[in-house]
C-alpha cells in the first residue's frame, strides 16, 4: 500500500491493524557520466513499493535528498547538512508514530545516509517511541553481488548501473559505460587515498575525477533483475521478522 495514493478514511483500517511502515530514502547526486542523479532514490523507491505490494505493508513517499555534500563538486548534486537530515528524519518518523506506527524500515539506497539513520533510530529506540532500522539492498545480498561482478565499485559501479538498466533503462547512457570505467578508478584502494591506515579523502572527487568507481561495462539489465529479485526477497523477510516481534522485545534492555 502506497500512502500517497490513499484517501485518509481508507487508511484507518491499516493503522488499526498494522504498526509497520517502509520509508524509502536515497539521494539526488552525481552517479558518473552514465547514470541519472536520481539513481539512489529510484532504487530505494522501487524496492519499497515492490515489497509493499507483495506484503501489504505501508510505503511512505520517498525522501529524495540526503547527506551528499561529499559529491558537491559535481554539477547538480543536492544535499542537506547532516544535522538537518537527522532532525527531518526523526520528525518524519515521530509523525508516523502519531498514527500508530511503532516500527519503521528505512529502505535506504545511499551510503551517506547510513550513520545518520542509525543515530535517529537509536534515539527513537532510547525514547521508546519506535524501533527504526536501516536497510541497504546490496548489503542484504553480498554473495550475489560478489558473484556477478569482479569489480562492483562502491559508487556508480556495475551493481547500480545494472539496477537502473533494469528499472529505468532509458535513463542510462549506455554509450558512456566504457568512458565511465576508463576515466574512473576500479576501487578506493586503487585511488591510493588510504595512507598508512588513514582515510585521507573526504569527497568523492578526491578519489575519482568522473565520480565513479568499478567496471561499468560489466553491467546488464538481467543482472539488475537478479539483484532486484534477490534483495526484494530479503526485504520481505525483514518485514515479516520485524512485524512478528513483540514491541517490548525491541526496546533497550534494562541496566545490568
Mean pLDDT of 178-185: 94
What mean pLDDT value characterizes the chain?
Answer: 96
Q: Are 166 and 33 in contact (CB under 8 A)?
A: no
What is the rounded CA–CA span in Å between residue 4 and residue 170?
25
What is the rounded CA–CA span in Å between residue 213 and residue 160?
11
Mean pLDDT of 44-70: 98
User: Quick one: CA torsion of 84, 90, 96, 101, rounded to 10 degrees?
Assistant: 160
Mean pLDDT of 62-90: 98
Q: What is the largest CA-CA distance in the chain?
A: 60
Report the pLDDT value the prediction gives residue 190, as an integer from 0 to 100: 84
Residue that is written with C-alpha cell 560478489 in the block:
146
> What is the per-residue pLDDT across 38-47, written as a single tens digit (0 to 9) for each?
999 999 999 9
Mean pLDDT of 226-248: 98
Mean pLDDT of 108-114: 97
Question: Residue 153: pLDDT above 90?
Answer: no
Q: Is 3.40.50.10310 the CATH classification of the domain at 3-248?
A: yes
Report the pLDDT value the prediction gives residue 102, as an integer from 0 to 100: 97
Global pTM reads: 0.95
Name which of 48-52, 190-194, 224-228 the model is least confident about.
190-194
Res. 151 pLDDT band, cuts 50 70 90: confident
Given strand 58-59, what is the order of strands in its sheet? 58-59, 20-25, 103-108, 131-136
Question: Residue 154: pLDDT above 90?
Answer: no
Mean pLDDT of 235-245: 98
Res. 54 pLDDT band, cuts 50 70 90: very high
Question: Residue 157: pLDDT above 90?
Answer: yes
Q: Sign of the CA dihedral 148, 151, 155, 158?
A: negative
Report the pLDDT value the prediction gives residue 182, as an integer from 0 to 100: 94
Report the pLDDT value the prediction gives residue 152, as an integer from 0 to 100: 85
Res. 205 pLDDT band, cuts 50 70 90: very high
Residues across the chain: 256
Mean pLDDT of 127-145: 97
Residue that is written with C-alpha cell 545518520 in the block:
116
DSSP string over 14-55: HHHH--EEEEEE--B--BTTTB-TTHHHHHHHHHHHHHHHHH
Report the pLDDT value the prediction gives residue 124, as an integer from 0 to 100: 98
Report the pLDDT value the prediction gives residue 31, as an integer from 0 to 100: 98
153 or 226, greater pLDDT: 226
Amino acid at each position: 500500500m502506497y500512502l500517497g495514493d490513499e484517501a485518509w478514511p481508507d487508511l484507518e483500517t491499516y493503522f488499526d491493524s498494522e504498526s509497520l511502515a517502509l520509508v524509502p530514502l536515497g539521494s539526488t547526486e552525481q552517479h558518473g557520466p552514465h547514470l541519472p542523479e536520481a539513481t539512489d532514490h529510484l532504487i530505494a523507491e522501487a524496492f519499497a513499493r515492490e515489497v509493499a505490494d507483495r506484503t501489504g505493508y505501508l510505503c511512505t513517499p520517498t525522501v529524495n535528498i540526503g547527506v551528499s555534500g561529499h559529491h558537491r563538486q559535481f554539477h547538480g548534486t543536492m544535499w542537506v547538512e547532516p544535522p538537518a537530515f537527522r532532525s527531518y528524519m526523526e520528525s518524519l518518523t515521530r509523525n508516523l508514530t502519531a498514527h500508530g506506527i511503532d516500527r519503521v524500515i528505512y529502505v535506504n539506497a545511499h551510503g551517506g545516509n547510513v550513520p545518520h539513520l542509525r543515530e535517529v533510530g537509536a534515539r527513537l529506540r532510547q525514547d521508546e517511541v519506535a524501533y527504526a532500522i536501516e536497510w541497504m539492498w546490496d548489503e542484504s545480498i553480498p554473495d550475489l553481488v560478489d558473484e556477478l561482478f569482479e569489480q562492483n565499485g562502491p559508487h556508480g559501479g556495475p551493481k547500480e548501473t545494472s539496477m537502473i538498466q533494469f528499472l529505468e533503462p532509458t535513463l542510462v547512457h549506455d554509450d558512456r559505460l566504457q568512458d565511465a570505467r576508463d576515466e574512473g578508478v576500479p576501487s578506493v584502494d586503487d585511488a591510493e587515498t588510504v595512507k598508512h591506515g588513514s582515510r585521507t579523502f573526504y569527497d568523492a572527487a578526491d578519489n575519482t575525477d568522473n565520480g565513479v568507481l568499478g567496471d561499468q561495462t560489466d553491467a546488464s539489465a538481467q543482472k539488475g533483475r537478479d539483484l532486484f529479485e534477490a534483495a526484494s526477497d530479503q526485504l520481505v523477510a525483514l518485514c515479516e521478522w520485524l512485524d512478528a516481534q513483540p514491541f517490548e522485545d525491541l526496546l533497550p534492555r534494562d541496566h545490568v
